[in-house]
Amino acid sequence: MTTNEWPLWEIFIRGQHGLSHRHVGSLHAPDAEMAIKHARDVYTRRNEGVSIWVAKAENIAASAPSDKGPLFEPSNDKVYRHPTFFDIPDEAGHM
């Protein structure tokens, strides 16, 4: 049996509350238009969203698990990037 499989799309939905689009899953569709239609049928069945993005899975570039160290560890010792690093007297008010 020959297969002419529809390509895979990654689906992103913006929820009701104005937050960013969030990855919810994937599906197969022949093109972007159909991917949006399928996404609406599968991923917004219970009022989950107000907007849909679709991206062909093959067009998504991802960091490699082995890059975890070089990519993310440098921020570990930069505690001064957090507001809690600074001691501010209460009299200064909310800051």
Binding site for other proteins (CB under 8 A): 1, 3-6, 8, 25-28, 30-31, 34, 41-42, 45, 62, 64-65
For other proteins, give the closer residue by CB, 19 or 62. Answer: 62
For other proteins, give the closer residue by CB, 14 or 56. Answer: 56
Nearest distance, CB of residue 14 and other proteins, angstroms: 17
**CB-based contacts of 85: which residues, under 8 Å, 6+ apart?**
79
Nearest distance, CB of residue 38 and other proteins, angstroms: 9
For other proteins, give the closer residue by CB, 6 or 53. Answer: 6
Residue 62: both structure tokens together: 């991802």
Nearest distance, CB of residue 94 and other proteins, angstroms: 37
